[in-house]
Each structure stands twice: as C-alpha cells, then as structure tokens.
C-alpha cells in the first residue's frame, strides 16, 4: 500500500495548538466544498474526520452553521409567518424574543446540546422576567417600585410559559433537521414539568339562567352573545366573528366559519382554525329571538352613529360604531356581568360545559342537540339528557322566558 489517501478523502495536519482535518462534501445547494474539524490531539481529530466521512456519505452536509438566534429569525420570517396562523406567529415570536434568544441565541446551531437545553429550561424558571426584560426600568422614575430600585419582585415564568418556550425551540429545531442543518432535535429530548390545570366547576343551569335573566332585564347589548355562548357552546372568537350572512332566520340555522382574533397589534377577521370547526348549527327558539333582538339593537346603533358607522364585515356583534369587539374586552365584560348578576366568576371558555344541560332545559330534540354538541354518537347525547334534573332546570328557563316575553 502507498499510504496515500484517495482523491476527495481529505487530510489531517498540525494546526495552531492542535490538529485540523477536512473532508470534501456536497453542500445542500449541490456544490462541493471542504468541511473542517479541529481538535487538540490527532486521535481526536481523526475520530471527527471519520464522522465527517460518514456524514458525507449519508447526504448533503452544511459547511457553515448559523447561530441559534440567526436560525430562529430565519425560521420565524420564512417558515412560521407565511405558513402558520397569525396567532401562532405571535406566540412563537414572543417565546423566541423573550425567553430563547437571550439565553441560547449566541450558540452555534450544530453545537447546541441536550445539556444546553436542559440547563436553559432549569435556569429560565428562576429568572425574574421583570429584571430580565427591564419592565420596571421602562416606567417613569417616580413610578418605579421593584427591580429598577433594587427590590426584585421575583416575577418568574410560569410552568406554562416555560413549556411554551421549549415547544417553540423544539418546533424550530424540527425544521432545522428537515433542512439537514442538524442531525437531531435536542429540544425534543428534554422534558419539562407539565403545568397543572386548575379545575373550575362550570355553572349549573340555574346559574346560567340567572345570568341570562339579569342580562335580559338590563337590555344588555351583548345578551345574544351570551345566549350563543351558553346555549350553543360557541367559542369567544367564533361569536365575535359571526356575520349576518351566517344567520338563516327562515331555516333556523347558524353557520360558524369565521372568528375574530387579536394577533399582536391587529384584530383579524379570519376563517376558523380547521374545517372541522365549520358547521351549520340549529338555532333553538331562545337563540333566534335573541338574535332578532340584537339585529334591532344594531339598527338603532347604526342610525345613532351615522357617518361614523364602519361595520365592513357585517358583524353581528360590534361596538356602537360598528367596529369589531376586542376579544379581551368580551372576556372582561363577561366577568363584569357575572358579578352584576351576583354569580361566582368562571372563565368565559368554561361556559361550554353548561351548554348541554341548557339544551335539555330548552326542550331541544336529542338529534338536534347531537348536532349542536357535535357528538359522533346519539348515545353520548342521551347520557346528558338522562343526567339532567328536568324540574329544576325547566323552572329556571321559565323565568328567563318570562323576562324576554316568551321565546316563540
């Protein structure tokens, strides 16, 4: 044997305080280039050299690796923003800017290890975000009260925030693997404590009826919204995204296909998240009457606003000038109405659990209720009907009917 390496096999040679080696590889763009490895001893470099050969045989190899921060910026702008929902982009961008980039952004993407990610997750839960983001320092000097004056408020990220940050990094690294920038996703190998969800008891039919009765008695402009939320189980965004074209008074149906979302500084009227969310829902008599009342209210608002009216999407629920209602404001108004009706406060999203019992109280036929509840089997719906206490709930709905002057 001559002892010479073959063409393209590469070379190992002394370099500065150790050794270096290179292997000819094919880059992702199809061009040939040298890929280098460095180490303190010849044996160390030889092992890296062998690994480079193996990597080159498997497929294209990147000769330059970006930092984690640079790749995350590329991923957000070129992958997330064009292909995912605006709300997903806002969530990922916030996690990257506030929690990932400050700690891991300077590391080289291909040198990020499982240990790096684990240490970052552990450290993140102990870093006061008021200090890290300078929240108190951004206030006027006379209004500073904690971190900026040397009294840390210990505003540590919650488990949910830590999990969201890890999930954002994992999603980004998954794309890096797909682009063959790295060989494995180290973030997927790090577990984070799951946030514990606080169980909240939903309203009973009597409580929901008390809420609606109070809203009807006060001529609440959002009464129809509360009816749809409680009787049809619609989500906040779905209610606010309804248009009058979606309401068929003759057939007694409602088509849910749009939603209102807050994404950063924008309020968006966009399609629902998935096609499975789109559906024609039967409207019980109470819902139909509430929507007719809402239409009359809106006509009055439009006349009062005059030229200031600007309901471009023909939304069912708007401000007095026809503009979309801020989703966060609907949540706050629901809590305010609950306190006004002297009821215990529950999150707006928890009202979906009360929907099934209300349908029983409204004497909605089980097959119709099955469509509203989106049960795949009628047996599931009949279980709900069997558990309902008819006398109590019908009496509660009767009071609501009296306040509205009947539901026919």
**Do 274 and 379 lie in a common domain?**
yes
**Residue 66 carries which DSSP code?**
-
Tell me the C-alpha distance between 408 and 392, whole Å.
21
| Pairing of the two strands 32-39 and 18-26 | antiparallel
Quickly state the pLDDT bin for 7 (edges 50, 70, 90).
very low
Tell me the C-alpha distance between 345 and 202, whole Å.
10
**Do 176 and 223 lie in a common domain?**
no
**Do 50 and 73 lie in a common domain?**
no
The tokens for 217 are: 């008695």
Question: Any idea which residue has 């108004």 for tokens?
Answer: 333
pLDDT score of 408: 41
**Do 52 and 87 lie in a common domain?**
no
pLDDT score of 265: 75
Question: Any idea which residue has 């928890």 for tokens?
Answer: 350
Tell me the C-alpha distance between 162 and 160, whole Å.
6
Identify the H or E element spanning 35.
strand 32-39
Per the document, the length of the chain is 408
Residue 251 lies in a domain: yes
Mean pLDDT value across residues 198-225: 87
pLDDT score of 3: 44
Mean pLDDT value across residues 128-145: 90
pLDDT score of 406: 52
Residue 4 lies in a domain: no
Residue 6 lies in a domain: no
**Do 150 and 215 lie in a common domain?**
no
pLDDT score of 278: 53
Is 159 in contact with 153 (CB distance < 8 Å)? no
**Residue 98 carries which DSSP code?**
I
pLDDT higher than 60, residue 403: no
pLDDT higher than 90, residue 98: yes
Last residue of a domain, one of 189, 223, 249: 189
pLDDT score of 105: 92
pLDDT score of 103: 93
Mean pLDDT value across residues 110-116: 92
Check which CATH number belongs to the domain holding 260 and give it: 1.10.443.10
Last residue of a domain, one of 165, 189, 213: 189
Quickly state the pLDDT bin for 280 (edges 50, 70, 90).
confident
From the CB of residue 194, how many other CB atoms can be counted at a distance below 10 Å? 9
**CA angle, residues 204, 256, 312, in degrees to nearest 5:** 115
Beta-bridge partners for 93 = none
Q: Percentage of residues in the chain with pLDDT exceeding 70?
A: 82
Residue 122 lies in a domain: yes
Quickly state the pLDDT bin for 8 (edges 50, 70, 90).
very low
Total domains, the chain: 3
Q: Which of 128-137, 286-295, 344-353 has the lowest mean pLDDT?
A: 344-353
pLDDT score of 2: 43
Mean pLDDT value across residues 374-396: 59
Q: Which of 198-202, 217-221, 312-316 has the lowest mean pLDDT?
A: 198-202
Q: Which of 60-69, 91-100, 156-165 has the lowest mean pLDDT?
A: 60-69
Tell me if residue 266 falls in helix, strand or coil. strand
Residue 196 lies in a domain: no
Question: Any idea which residue has 């292909």 for tokens?
Answer: 83
**Do 270 and 370 lie in a common domain?**
yes
pLDDT higher than 80, residue 131: yes
Quickly state the pLDDT bin for 168 (edges 50, 70, 90).
very high
**CA angle, residues 209, 211, 215, in degrees to nearest 5:** 115
Q: What ranges in 38-138 are assigned the alpha helix state H?
A: 42-58, 68-75, 81-83, 86-95, 101-104, 114-124, 129-132
Tell me the C-alpha distance between 397 and 206, whole Å.
8
The tokens for 332 are: 């706050």
* Phi, psi torsion values for 39, nearest 5 degrees: -170, 170
**Do 219 and 321 lie in a common domain?**
yes
Q: What is the DSSP string of 298-359?
A: HHHHHHHHGGG---TT-BSSB-TTSPBPPHHHHHHHHHHHHHHTT-----GGGGHHHHHHHH
Residue 244 lies in a domain: yes
Beta-bridge partners for 34 = 24
Tell me if residue 117 falls in helix, strand or coil. helix
**Do 248 and 125 lie in a common domain?**
no
Q: Percentage of residues in the chain with pLDDT exceeding 90?
A: 37
The tokens for 146 are: 């904690």
**Do 180 and 213 lie in a common domain?**
no
Last residue of a domain, one of 162, 189, 216: 189
Mean pLDDT value across residues 167-172: 96
Beta-bridge partners for 262 = 267
Name which of 259, 262, 263, 229 is nearest 246 in CA terms: 259
Check which CATH number belongs to the domain holding 121 and give it: 1.10.150.130
**Do 34 and 102 lie in a common domain?**
no
pLDDT score of 183: 81
**Do 85 and 36 lie in a common domain?**
no
Residue 198 lies in a domain: no
Residue 275 lies in a domain: yes
**Do 143 and 39 lie in a common domain?**
no
The tally of CA atoms less than 13 A away on the side-chain side of residue 341 is 25
The tokens for 160 are: 């949910």
pLDDT score of 130: 92
Mean pLDDT value across residues 9-27: 80
Q: At what angle do helices 68-75 and 159-178 cross, to 10 degrees?
A: 90
Mean pLDDT value across residues 214-233: 90
Q: Which domain holds residue 368?
A: 205-404
The tokens for 336 are: 């305010």
Residue-wise pLDDT for 302-347, tens only, equals 999 898 998 878 899 999 999 999 989 999 999 999 999 999 988 8
């Amino acid at each position: 044997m001559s002892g010479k390496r073959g063409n393209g096999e590469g070379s190992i040679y002394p370099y500065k305080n150790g050794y270096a080696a290179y292997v000819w590889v094919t880059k992702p763009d199809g061009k040939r280039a040298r890929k280098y490895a460095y180490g303190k001893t010849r044996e160390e470099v030889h092992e890296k050299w062998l690994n480079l050969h193996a990597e080159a045989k498997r497929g294209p190899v990147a000769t330059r690796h970006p930092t984690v921060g640079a790749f995350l910026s590329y991923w957000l702008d070129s992958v997330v923003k064009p292909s995912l929902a605006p709300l997903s982009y806002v969530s990922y961008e916030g996690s990257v800017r506030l929690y990932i980039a400050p700690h891991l952004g300077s590391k080289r993407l291909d040198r990020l290890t499982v240990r790096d990610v684990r240490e970052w997750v552990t450290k993140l839960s102990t870093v006061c975000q008021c200090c890290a983001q300078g929240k108190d320092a951004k206030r006027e000097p006379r209004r500073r009260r904690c971190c900026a004056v040397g009294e840390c408020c210990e505003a540590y990220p919650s488990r949910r925030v830590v999990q969201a940050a890890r999930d954002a990094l994992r999603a980004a690294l998954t794309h890096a693997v797909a682009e063959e920038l790295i060989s494995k996703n180290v973030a997927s190998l790090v577990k984070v404590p799951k946030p514990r969800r606080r169980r909240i008891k939903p309203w009973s039919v009597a409580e929901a009826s008390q809420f609606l009765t109070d809203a009807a008695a006060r001529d609440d402009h959002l009464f129809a919204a509360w009816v749809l939320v409680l009787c049809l189980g619609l989500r906040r965004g779905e209610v606010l995204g309804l248009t009058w074209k979606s309401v068929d008074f003759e057939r007694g149906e409602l088509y849910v296909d749009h939603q209102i979302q807050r994404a950063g500084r924008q309020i968006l009227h966009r399609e629902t998240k998935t096609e499975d969310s789109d559906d024609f829902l039967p409207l019980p008599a109470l819902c139909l009457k509430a929507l007719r009342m809402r239409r009359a209210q809106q006509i009055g608002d439009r006349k009062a606003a005059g030229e200031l009216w600007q309901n471009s999407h023909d939304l069912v629920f708007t401000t007095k000038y026809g503009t979309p209602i801020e989703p966060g404001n609907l949540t706050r108004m629901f809590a305010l109405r609950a306190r006004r009706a002297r009821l215990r406060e529950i999150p707006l999203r928890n009202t979906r659990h009360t929907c099934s019992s209300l349908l029983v109280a409204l004497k909605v036929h089980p097959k119709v209720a099955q469509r509203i509840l989106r049960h795949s089997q009628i047996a599931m719906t009949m279980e709900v009907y069997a558990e309902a206490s008819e006398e109590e709930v019908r009496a509660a709905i009767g009071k609501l009917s009296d306040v509205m002057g009947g539901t026919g």
